[in-house]
Each structure stands twice: as structure tokens, then as C-alpha cells.
Amino acid sequence: MVELFSQCMSDPLRDSSRWNAVKARSDDIIIATCYKAGTTLVQQIVHVLLNGGKEFDAMRSVSPWIESRLHGPSPSVVEALPSPRFLKTHLHPKALPWHTHWKYIYIGRDGRDVGLSLYNHIRVMAEEALAMGEQATHHAIPVEFAVFWDQWVETGKPRWDFWENVAGWWQVRHHPNVLLLHYADLVNHKPQTVERIAHFLGCQWNEEICQQVCEQSSLDYMRQLELAGKLGSPDKHKKKTGLVNRGGNGRWKDRLTQRQLARYQDIVAQRLESECAEWLHPDDFPL
């Protein structure tokens, strides 16, 4: 069964129709998040599981973001990738080709952490763009975090709607070819979570592989990859990272007001099923 683009998605950063050019293989793997929920981390974990940690020039060359308008690969590049391919997406599942033989990994994260992480990420990207003399059109956000937050939590701007993305993937969680992961488990229970990924993908698993994957997906290791330009733009003088930050949770507690937290709770109740809301907020549910 294949369902193609029942919900087309297009915005300044994404064009779901780019998936039309992907010729499906029986062992393709899709790594999906809304954003700022461990996408690059899981790409690295899957890379080590599949390829033994083989060095690469850039993550986007081994695991491209298919629908990206800025960095999306050409069809020939995607076709040339060795099997099994592991492809990145930030789309709702209804905007993706749906193949029963594909495997889909979705990572969710507490929206309060996502909002703050996105704000920090875009600020860093904007600074880098300006330093390189480039226009920061896609990274234009309010300077004040409170203003950014009030806009983002309601609409997802300047990116896309967070709630729709999470709710969509929650709806397909029972499919046998879908694995739902939580970012908190990647951080706090990495060996067990990596083992789940390995079994889901049918990869070999033992203590030695566990140690290798955990070491090569550690925060320090990932930061070194980014500073070397392998997770983004190379800059030997770069001290900040846009994709790899502290990797923790709960920093929103010092940034969000009681009013903002109350509004967040209202939106959660309106936009997510109660079970999904509980899954997304494992540490403090009910909110």
C-alpha cells in the first residue's frame, strides 16, 4: 500500500513534492521530527548502526533532507546513495509517501523545550549568516524571547505548526513500521533507546556496538562533528553550534512566565489527545 501526498505541504523551507522524485527501495528508512527534537542525533545513531561509524564529509550527504528548498538533494544524488538509505524529513506523515516496507522513526519532544531550542538555533543561524555577509531572511525572528514564544506556540512561526506535526505522527504510531521515540529517552536512557532502534531496523546488537554508538553520538562527539563542518557549514573559528546545543531539557523553566505556561497548557489540551499529551510530557503530566 502506498499513499502519496494526500496533504501537500509547501512553505519557504519545504516542498513535499520533492519526494515524488524518490524511487522507493524496500529497505528505506525515514527519520522524522517537527524540528529541534534530536533529528541529527538519531541520524548519527542510525549511521553508526548501519555503517559502523564510517567517516563522512557532511551529514546531509549521507542522510539528506529531501523536501528542503535550501539544501534538498537532486534525484540523482538520492538515487546514488547506498542501501539502506536513511532520509530526513520534517513533514507530517500525510505529506510523505507511505510504504509498508519503509521504516519510519519519529522523535518527539516537550514543546516547551522545542520552542526554546528553536529560538536559540535561529539566533545562531542568523548570527552566522550576517557574519558571512548573507541575508538572514529565513532566520528573522523577534529579538525578545517572550515575543518569539507567543507567536511560535500559537502558529509555529517562523517555521511550521508543531502541534499538527506531533498529532499526525501520534495517529500512525500503531503501524508496525513506525517507531516513536522521545527525546528525553535519547538523553536519559540512551543505551536502551539505541537498542530499540537497532532491533527496529534489524541491526546487529551487542555490548561493543552499544558502546560505539553511545560514544559516537555523545554530546561532545556531535559538537566536534559540527565544529568540523560535518553537520552544517564549516567554520574553524566557530564556537557556537546551531544544531547541537546543551542537549538537555527543562531550561524553559527559567524563561516562561506563568501566563505563558497557562496558555501552553490550554493549547496542549486543545490540540493533542490526552494520551499523546502525556507521552510528550513524561516528567510532569498533567501539566
pLDDT averaged over the chain? 89
Residue 267: count other Cβ atoms within 10 Å of its Cβ: 15
pLDDT of residue 142: 79
Is residue 192 pLDDT above 70, yes or no? yes
Q: Are strands 86-89 and 98-99 parallel, antiparallel or unpaired?
A: unpaired
pLDDT, average across residues 65-73:
93
- Does the structure show a pLDDT above 60 at 208? yes
Q: Is the pLDDT of residue 1 over 60?
A: no
What is the per-residue pLDDT across 42-53, written as a single tens digit (0 to 9) for each?
999 999 999 998
Q: What mean pLDDT comes out for the span 149-174?
A: 96
Instruction: Give the pLDDT confidence score for residue 240 in this predicted structure.
Output: 47
- Cell numbers linked to 105: 522513526
Global pTM reads 0.90
| Residue 258 binned pLDDT confidence (cut-offs 50, 70, 90) | very high
pLDDT the model gives residue 235: 46
CB 13 within 8 A of CB 28: no
What's the pLDDT at 256? 94
Phi, psi (deg, nearest 5) at residue 283: -90, -25
| Residue of 46, 244, 53 whose CA lies nearest to 63 | 46
Q: How far apart are CA 72 and CA 249, in angstroms?
A: 30
Residue 5 Rama label (left phi>0; alpha psi -120 to 50; beta) = left
The answer to whether the CB of 86 falls within 8 A of the CB of 31 is yes
Label the pairing between strands 2-3 and 29-32.
unpaired
What's the confidence (pLDDT) of residue 239?
A: 47
List the one residue out of 63, 57, 54, 68 whose CA is nearest residue 17: 68
pLDDT per residue over 10-37, tens digit each?
888 999 999 999 999 999 999 999 999 9
pLDDT tens, 118-130?
999 898 876 776 6
User: In what helix (H) or strand (E) does residue 87 lie, and over which residues does it extend?
Assistant: strand 86-89
Q: What is the pLDDT of residues 133-150, one digit of tens each?
A: 666 566 677 789 999 999
Average the pLDDT over 102-122 and give the result.
95
9 versus 84: which is more confidently predicted? 84
Contact 243, 40 (CB under 8 A): yes
Do residues 241 and 223 touch, judged by C-beta distance below 8 A? yes
Distance, in Å, from the CA atom of 16 to the CA atom of 266, rounded to the nearest integer, reads 30
Note the pLDDT of residue 243.
53
**Is the previous residue joined to 93 through a cis bond, with omega within 30 degrees of 0?**
no
* Length in residues, the chain: 287
Nearest of 125, 102, 120 to residue 23 by alpha carbon: 102
> Which domains are seen in the chain, by residue range?
2-280 (3.40.50.300)
Give the model's pLDDT for residue 107: 98
What's the confidence (pLDDT) of residue 191? Answer: 97
The C-alpha atoms of residue 263 and residue 139 are separated, in whole angstroms, by: 25
What does the angle CA 241 – CA 105 – CA 108 come to, to the nearest 5 degrees?
A: 60
Does 181 have pLDDT greater than 50? yes
Burial (CB < 10 A; 0-12, 13-18, 19+), residue 118, is buried
Residue 137: its pLDDT value, please?
61
> Which residues share a beta bridge with 14?
68
Closest to 121 (Cα-Cα) out of 148, 92, 83: 148
CA 69, chain centre distance (Å): 17
Place of cell 541520524: 43
Residue 122 phi/psi, 5° resolution?
-65, -35
pLDDT attached to residue 246: 55
